[in-house]
């Protein structure tokens, strides 16, 4: 009686272990891609919040409606920070107070719909 494994048994074991190793490797690569994508999303939200806070700390000039508009005016400004693109829009708030809506919208595609919107004080200008 011989003891040990046949060549066929060793080959089958190697194939089974190889398939298992490939599955584990694919899972590790998938987790790395998910981690990178979520890191970019987190970075995008932090940059959006920083943009919003800059508009709170240093008020922009008030957006004034033109004569042909009813009560609202909208200004949009593209902004890029550290490889992330945003659109910052300013919309006047009716009523006469020096306030306006500020919306920060991420346009790079890291988020399907990342928009922060807040009413902030604005600087009134005397230009008519």
pTM beyond 0.75: the answer is no
DSSP secondary-structure letter at 94? T
The pLDDT of residue 27 is 93
Strands, E assignment, the chain: 74-81, 84-92, 99-106, 115-121
Per residue in 40-77, pLDDT (tens digit) is 889 999 999 999 999 889 988 888 766 655 555 678 88
């Amino acid at each position: 009686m011989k003891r040990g494994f046949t060549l066929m048994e060793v080959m089958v074991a190697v194939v089974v272990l190889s398939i298992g190793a490939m599955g584990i490797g694919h899972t590790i690569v998938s987790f790395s891609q998910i981690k990178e994508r979520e890191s970019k999303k987190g970075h995008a939200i932090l940059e959006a919040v920083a943009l919003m806070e800059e508009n709170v700390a240093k008020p922009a000039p008030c957006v004034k409606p033109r004569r042909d508009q009813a009560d609202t005016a909208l200004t949009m400004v593209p902004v890029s920070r550290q490889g992330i693109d945003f659109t910052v829009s300013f919309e006047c708030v009716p009523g006469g107070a020096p306030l306006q809506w500020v919306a920060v919208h991420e346009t790079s595609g890291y988020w399907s719909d990342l928009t922060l919107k807040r009413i902030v004080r604005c600087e009134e200008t005397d230009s008519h």
